Amino acid sequence: MTIFEKSTCGRKGYELPPYELPEMSCALPEHLIRKEKPKLPEVSELDVVRHYTELALKNYSVDRGFYPLGSCTMKYNPKINEDMASLFTNLHPMQPRETIQGAVHLMGHLKELLCEITGTDDMTLQPAAGAHGELTGLLIARAYFEDKGELEKRKKVLVPDSAHGTNPASAAMAGFEVVELKSGSDGCVNIEELKAHLDDTVAVIMLTNPNTLGLFEKDILTIAKLAHEFGALLYYDGANLNAIMGRTRPGDMGFDIVHLNLHKTFSTPHGMGGPGSGPIGVKAHLAPYLPVPVIRKLQDKYDLDYNLPKTIGMVRSFYGNFIVMVKAYTYILTMGNKGLKHVSDMAVLNANYLRAKLSKLYKIAYDRVCMHEFVIDNEEFAKKTGVKTLDIAKRLLDYGLHAPTVYFPLIVHEAIMIEPTETESKQTLDIFVEAMEKIYNEALEKPELVKGAPYTTPVRKLDDVNATKYPVFRYK
């Protein structure tokens, strides 16, 4: 039942203190005064408590169980991060600078730590999400080429066909023409294909490394050299940074622009879709174009620098999703140097353990040592049994698990993309393997059972075709 149906006219859930000021006359013209009250719920405090508790019970979450969504890095979100963030919530962004020194210091130090982790020279923390970071990075590239007088000719952004959908969407928003690169037979960038597209009309090459198949682009140093020979910039999509910490850095591989997802690698919660935080690190030659303000250390103190004549401007208000930054900062202090390497080591170990176990039944696309994730190619099995990837995903819900990412990357048909993360134990992985084995057998013996899934969830399979065809946008 919706909260609107629980509403009773005249009931209330709030209380304000007695009002002590004299009533001033209202001088607003009649036509600007609201006539009809908005139909918001009228409920008691307990009604609010019951309603939102009931909704929460209908959700799956990391705190409830395994969440192997590929490319999403659904790791445990430490509780101390939340506590530390709650200490900073009552700061107004426009308070006098001298009254937010602790917050500015935190952002400055976080930036330095992230520059070290990414191997970049400067950084903005302003972007509110990964895709927002991509847009920011590409706008920086655009400003750089404009400054060099090359924007007229450099119109293209090269994006592999295995890339996240946000990559081409961000490139288009930044005014570039998107050219798709076909992956090679090994799932990686095909150097010949790259060479065929690479000339001085290319502004940026966007790569995720490891890529969305969970494979490390082993030719990355060659790719970087080629890109730079043609004057193009290399962009790093940081969605998969959780695989390589402590061993290499995007900046060392030759990337010029690097985005991070603090809500993936750095353990901040996803909150049903956001807020995230998508900092952008850049090499020195791109620093003049960063959005303002940039946080800098002057003598012993961090300060906000708005004086960047070549800045792209701002991509949102103020400093970014600051509260998310506090959580990521807490995490980095907690894990430290060796801890972050251990994170990647165990994330990659977990993925390979699952890959080894599941490869006994399912076909792995590009079956070799993977990084933090891997992809099952379910096409043949689907043909044989009629049980599609979507059915397997829904059946996993019946086993009390969340489904992996499905139908992505697009280059693998019927893809099932699995990222376990480092915070899951061997026992949890074994439970997942067991469920996948059961579903495999069910698909062979009782395919209709799998195709009808899920059975045990708060609702059964939902009709999303008609939901879009005859949309109901709001409660009426």
Residues 100-129 interacting with another protein (rule: CB under 8 A): 100-103, 105-106, 113, 116-117, 119, 128-129
First to last CA, the chain: 13
> What backbone phi and psi angles, to 5 degrees, belong to 236?
-105, 115
Q: Sort strands 257-259 and 280-282 into parallel, antiparallel or unpaired.
A: antiparallel
Neighbouring CB atoms inside 10 A of 338's CB total 9
Residue with Cβ nearer another protein (40 or 298): 40
Provide, rounded to whole angstroms, the least separation between the CB of residue 383 and another protein: 24
The size of the interface with another protein (CB under 8 A), counted in residues, is 199
Which one among 158, 226, 241, 244 touches another protein, defined by CB under 8 A? Answer: 244
The answer to whether the bond into 454 is cis (omega within 30° of 0) is: yes
C-alpha 213/C-alpha 219 separation (Å) is 15
Which 348-407 residues touch another protein, going by CB under 8 A? Answer: 348-350, 352-353, 355-357, 369, 371, 393-394, 397, 402-403, 405
Neighbouring CB atoms inside 10 A of 339's CB total 14
Determine which helix (DSSP H) or strand (DSSP E) holds 294, and give its type and residue range.
strand 294-298
Can you tell me whether residue 147 is helix, strand or coil?
helix
C-alpha 290/C-alpha 287 separation (Å) is 6
Residue with Cβ nearer another protein (116 or 121): 116
Residue with Cβ nearer another protein (78 or 232): 78
Determine which helix (DSSP H) or strand (DSSP E) holds 435, and give its type and residue range.
helix 426-445
Residue for token digits 């079956």?
Answer: 367
Which 247-276 residues touch another protein, going by CB under 8 A? Answer: 247-249, 252-253, 261, 263, 267, 269-276
**Residue 91 in the binding site for another protein (CB under 8 A):** yes
Provide, rounded to whole angstroms, the least separation between the CB of residue 330 and another protein: 6
Give the x/- contact pattern for another protein in 294-333, rule: CB under 8 A.
Answer: ------------------xxxxxxxxxxxxx-x--xx-xx
Provide, rounded to whole angstroms, the least separation between the CB of residue 24 and another protein: 4
Which 131-160 residues touch another protein, going by CB under 8 A? Answer: 131-132, 134-135, 139, 142
Stretch that binds another protein, among 3-11, 198-206, 376-384, 443-451 (CB under 8 A): 3-11
**Residue 196 in the binding site for another protein (CB under 8 A):** no
C-alpha 123/C-alpha 324 separation (Å) is 16
Can you tell me whether residue 431 is helix, strand or coil?
helix
Which 398-457 residues touch another protein, going by CB under 8 A? Answer: 402-403, 405, 408, 422-426, 454, 457
C-alpha 414/C-alpha 388 separation (Å) is 7
Provide, rounded to whole angstroms, the least separation between the CB of residue 72 and another protein: 6
Question: Could you tell me which of 72, 130, 165 has the C-alpha nearest to residue 279?
Answer: 130
Residue with Cβ nearer another protein (296 or 383): 296
C-alpha 432/C-alpha 74 separation (Å) is 15
Residue with Cβ nearer another protein (117 or 443): 117
Residue with Cβ nearer another protein (194 or 444): 194
